[in-house]
Amino acid sequence: MLKLLRRDLILNRYIVGPAYLLWSAMWLGGPAMSGDTMPFGLWSGGVSFACAFLPVMTLIREDKFKAGALVCSLPVTRDAIVASRYLGGWILALTGVAVAIAAMLTLSLFGVNPLRPPTPMLPATVVTVVGLALAVMLPMVIRFGMVGVFSLLIGAQLLGVVVLLAGAMFDARVVQGIEAAVKAIVSGSARLRDALGPAAYSAVLVAAVAVLNYASFRLSSLLYRRREF
């Protein structure tokens, strides 16, 4: 596992380093230039979502060079390869978020405070967003490579278009129903958080993300064993 992580680091170091700097600058620039004060949680949620694409970027690179065949000819099992994708993905994404947050906190030392102070929910927010994004994206990327990412993104957009069209053409209740479902999830989460308190609620979120990622990992392993090069 460590050998695979080391390999990915060597092969992607010229991509990941600049991406951290560029993305951090981008994420600092937005709030710093806007007049409003954004909640720290909202900002870090956005950063986390963007950073979850970092591991996807490295996998797309591997796909571009058709290097998946090379990895699978090395003396490692496919399950170990998939496990390293998940662990490496988490490390890459969380490091990206940490770099961005550290940069934002550094900015505040110079009197620039475009965000409201962080709440105790910050770590759980980051873990949840990164975890959800990775759990959904990785099986598609690991099995189908670049095509998987594009299929996922285009599929999500098409689904949105179809739902909106269905709402407009047939019955506005379709869209309203989806809105109501989203609101119910949000308010349900808020009620759970109020009932449990931030610490326990964070633990529940992290545990849920862990279970989801484990399920996603098992699915990816199953899919990757079927992948042919």
Partner 1 sequence: MTDHAIRIRGLRKQYRGFTLKDVDLDVPRGYVTGLIGPNGAGKTTLIKLIMNLVRRDAGTISVLGLDNLADEVAVKSRIGFIYDEPPFYHDLTLASQARAIAPFYPAWSDARFRGLADRFGLPLGKRYKALSHGTKMKFALAVALAHDAELLIMDEPTSGLDLEFRRELLDELTATLQDEGKSVLFSTHITSDLERVADYVTFIRDGAIAFSLPKDELRDRWGIVRTDRQSADRLPAAILRGGRERPHGVEVLVADVAAAREALGADAVIDRASFDEVMVLMHHGGGHAQAA
**Which positions lie near partner 1, rule CB under 8 A?**
3, 6-7, 10-11, 14, 61, 65-70, 72-77, 225-226, 228-229
Is 57 exposed, middle or buried, given 0-12, 13-18 or 19+ CB atoms closer than 10 A?
A: middle
Of the pair 3, 173, the CB lying nearest partner 1 is at 3
Of the pair 72, 103, the CB lying nearest partner 1 is at 72
**Least separation, in Å, of the C-beta of 39 and partner 1?**
40
Q: Where are the beta strands (DSSP E) in the chain?
A: none
Of the pair 124, 141, the CB lying nearest partner 1 is at 141
The backbone torsions φ and ψ at residue 38, rounded to the nearest 5 degrees and listed phi first, read -85, 145
**Least separation, in Å, of the C-beta of 216 and partner 1?**
22
**Least separation, in Å, of the C-beta of 229 and partner 1?**
4
**Least separation, in Å, of the C-beta of 140 and partner 1?**
20
Question: Of 63, 79, 77, 81, nearest to 7 (Cα)?
Answer: 81
Of the pair 3, 191, the CB lying nearest partner 1 is at 3
Q: What is the DSSP letter of 215?
A: H
- Tokens for 167, please give them: 């709402």
- Tokens for 207, please give them: 């545990």
